[in-house]
């Protein structure tokens, strides 16, 4: 009887708990549904005032958000809550500046950038477009509370450059910081076993040495000197300075304060922002008590000015496929290149009869050799159907070059970092660390290679031999792909390969690219090959995220966690941790440039 009573009580308790949990879950679901309902109502009755351009307006470039080549991400929340894009799209910025040239309501451009979150090649593209804007006869002015070097490089294109009286600008030349972990590995017994091909394949050098090799120092020095030459020439042209004078200013830090910046003609005057606006009012004949009609680049794009001007009746299209980020085996999204999404986009463009040519925009330091080769193979099929042109962005190196080399024509910016034709494999090893803390690993296997490698055991000669064979095979395949695409011999490619990185200018000299030019130039050439006068642009791939994927990835929580860690340990320590983590997560044989490099 006691047993039966206990059973009944347990059964009642379990039912109660199930009902309680169901009620709690139902409560949260109801709250969520109500939240969505009111959001929809709010969205339906929200102020739908259209962004317009007023007469006598100034287009303001402040670029508060990161600049990416493209960002096509759709989610359930983007339409529901009218989310602002997290980034600015480079092609929309360029189109907006182009459209502003002939927009009668736009009288000029004001560059007011505090922090420019763009790569060197992207910055160069924007600067080139601003220079074209100036040629229309409209003015460009620039103001900042303090210019970083990249910010000043862009802003120096202006007719007049102003800076806060208590500040100055950075003009000091280019440098690169590389971190080396060899001593750290020896100290703690956590190592990376590296097998590579290419004397310049410096992506793995920080893990096998405690200092920079002469080969790596040579390539980086020449790379930075070439990019710096572009900076000097363009800044000098805008500010009436010779290359030698720019070097002298950089060596003496001749822009470090406002007084020196004026003396060296780097800026026109030192004023506060309200005084800067007073100058703009005077120029536009706006009364002192009236506000200037500013329109931000973000809002100007909203008005439709971020699109290329074409006739409504135009049916022909050029597809621009954006391959941006590291190359990883898998689906791919807006943060990395996966072969699945790129292949899907390429096939969509090939099947679309309206698409007459394809431009592959590459902005990648490389990554997975397997994924790179799969994309290369698909591009070979594309070439049989339609013209294929490559436009290189900030990076098109290693795997990024692998997927570029078979195009009908390759365009690069002078500041593009490309080449890095080399291959490496890397696996972690914690044998020494495990020994120190008293961990011993034992293996049981049926055959000699059942466990080819264990992180708890020294690397065997058999493993090294097999891995070396794979790397040599992939490296030779890489050489043959480039030789075929660039119409060179394998020997000629090998002489400029070995993992060496080149600037766009250098790459043209050695035959790795065809022309200096930006994305617009590549599109124009694609149109020429397809014999098109008028055309629309079709940007691919497009990424869609359903609610389940958004919640499972929890990007907001990840971002907050990383930010908390960064604040706790400091930016420099966080960079070391992040670099180490990235290398530890590499899978398979890699075609990757030395991306753990920060150009300053």
The predicted structure's pLDDT at residue 204:
81
Would you tell me how many other CB atoms lie within 10 Å of the CB of residue 441? 11
The predicted structure's pLDDT at residue 519:
96
DSSP annotation of 266 reads S
DSSP annotation of 304 reads I
Which pLDDT band, with edges at 50, 70 and 90, does 459 fall under? Answer: confident
- Residues 228-285: tens digit of each pLDDT: 999 999 999 999 999 999 999 999 999 999 999 999 999 999 999 999 999 999 999 9
Structure tokens at 230: 């572009």
Per the document, the length of the chain is: 600
Structure tokens at 380: 């070979």
| pTM, entire model | 0.85
Cα–Cα dist 579/595, whole Å: 9
Residue 364: active-site member: no
Residue range 406-429: mean pLDDT, rounded: 93
- Residues 558-592: tens digit of each pLDDT: 444 555 555 555 555 545 555 555 555 555 677 77
Going by C-alpha positions, the residue among 86, 101, 434 that lies closest to residue 300 is 101
**What phi and psi values does residue 40 have, to the nearest 5 degrees?**
-65, -45
- Tokens 């506000």 locate to 291
27 vs 528, more confident: 528
Which pLDDT band, with edges at 50, 70 and 90, does 62 fall under? Answer: very high
Cα–Cα dist 169/255, whole Å: 5
The predicted structure's pLDDT at residue 330:
95
- Whether 549 shows a pLDDT value over 60: the answer reads no
- Residues 184-201: tens digit of each pLDDT: 899 999 888 888 876 666
**What phi and psi values does residue 341 have, to the nearest 5 degrees?**
-70, -35
How far out from the chain centre does Cα 400 lie? 12
Residue 201: active-site member: yes
- Residues 32-41: tens digit of each pLDDT: 566 555 555 5
Residue range 309-335: mean pLDDT, rounded: 92
What percent of the chain has a predicted confidence (pLDDT) above 70? Answer: 81
Contact present, 385 and 468 (Cβ < 8 Å): no
The predicted structure's pLDDT at residue 300:
97
Contact present, 106 and 132 (Cβ < 8 Å): no
Q: Which of 57, 398, 404, 420 is catalytic?
A: 398
- Residues 477-510: tens digit of each pLDDT: 999 999 999 999 999 999 999 889 999 999 999 9
Residue range 522-528: mean pLDDT, rounded: 97
Which pLDDT band, with edges at 50, 70 and 90, does 178 fall under? Answer: confident
Q: Which of 107, 201, 305, 508 is catalytic?
A: 201
What percent of the chain has a predicted confidence (pLDDT) above 90? Answer: 63
Alpha-helical (H) ranges within 46-157 are 76-80, 90-102, 120-134, 149-155
Residue range 164-177: mean pLDDT, rounded: 94
């Amino acid at each position: 009887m006691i047993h039966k009573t206990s059973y009944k009580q347990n059964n009642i308790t379990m039912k109660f708990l199930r009902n309680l949990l169901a009620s709690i879950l139902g409560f949260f679901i109801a709250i969520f549904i109500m939240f969505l309902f009111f959001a929809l109502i709010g969205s339906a009755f929200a102020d739908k005032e259209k962004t317009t351009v007023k007469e006598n307006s100034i287009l303001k470039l402040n670029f508060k958000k990161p600049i990416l080549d493209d960002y096509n991400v759709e989610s359930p929340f983007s339409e529901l809550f009218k989310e602002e894009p997290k980034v600015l799209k480079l092609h929309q910025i360029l189109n907006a500046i182009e459209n502003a040239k002939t927009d009668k309501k736009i009288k000029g451009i004001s560059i007011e950038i505090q922090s420019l979150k763009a790569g060197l090649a992207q910055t160069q593209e924007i600067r080139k477009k601003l220079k074209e804007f100036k040629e229309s006869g409209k003015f460009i002015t620039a103001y900042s509370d303090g210019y970083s070097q990249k910010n000043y490089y862009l802003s120096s294109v202006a007719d007049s450059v102003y800076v806060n009286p208590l500040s100055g600008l950075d003009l000091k030349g280019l440098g690169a910081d590389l971190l080396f972990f060899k001593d750290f590995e020896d100290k703690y017994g956590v190592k990376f076993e590296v097998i590579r091909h290419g004397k310049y394949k410096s992506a793995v050098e920080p893990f096998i040495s405690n200092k920079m090799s002469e080969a790596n120092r040579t390539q980086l020095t020449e790379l930075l000197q070439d990019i710096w030459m572009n900076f000097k020439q363009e800044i000098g042209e805008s500010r009436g300075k010779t290359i030698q004078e720019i070097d002298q200013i950089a060596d003496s830090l001749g822009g470090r304060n406002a007084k020196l910046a004026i003396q060296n003609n780097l800026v026109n005057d030192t004023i506060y922002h309200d005084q800067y606006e007073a100058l703009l009012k005077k120029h536009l004949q706006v009364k002192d008590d009236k506000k200037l009609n500013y329109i931000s680049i973000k809002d100007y794009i909203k008005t439709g000015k971020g699109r290329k001007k074409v006739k409504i009746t135009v049916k022909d299209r050029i597809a621009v496929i954006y391959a941006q980020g590291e190359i990883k085996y898998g689906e791919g999204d807006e943060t990395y290149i996966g072969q699945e999404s790129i292949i899907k986009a390429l096939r969509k463009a090939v099947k679309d009869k309206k698409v007459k040519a394809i431009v592959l925009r590459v902005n990648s330091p490389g990554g997975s050799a397997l994924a790179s080769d799969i994309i290369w193979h698909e591009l070979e099929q594309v070439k049989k159907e339609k013209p294929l042109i490559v436009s290189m962005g900030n990076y098109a190196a290693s795997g990024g070059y692998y997927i570029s080399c078979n195009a009908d024509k390759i365009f690069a910016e002078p500041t593009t970092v490309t080449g890095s034709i080399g291959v490496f494999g890397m696996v972690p090893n914690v044998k020494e660390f495990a020994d120190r803390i008293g961990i011993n690993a034992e293996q049981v296997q049926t055959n000699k290679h059942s466990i080819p490698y264990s992180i708890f055991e020294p690397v065997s000669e058999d493993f090294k031999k097999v891995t070396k064979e794979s790397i040599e095979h992939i490296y030779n395949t890489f050489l043959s792909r480039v030789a075929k695409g660039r119409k060179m011999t394998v020997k000629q490619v090998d002489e400029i390969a070995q993992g060496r990185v080149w600037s766009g200018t250098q790459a043209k000299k050695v035959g790795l690219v065809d022309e200096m030019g930006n994305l617009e130039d590549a599109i124009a050439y694609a149109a020429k090959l397809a014999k098109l006068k008028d055309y629309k642009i079709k940007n691919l791939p497009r990424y869609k995220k359903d609610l389940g994927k958004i919640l499972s990835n929890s990007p907001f929580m990840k971002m907050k966690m990383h930010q908390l860690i960064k604040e706790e340990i400091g930016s420099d320590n966080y960079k070391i941790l992040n670099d180490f983590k990235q290398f530890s997560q590499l899978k398979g044989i890699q075609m990757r440039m030395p991306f753990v490099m920060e150009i300053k």
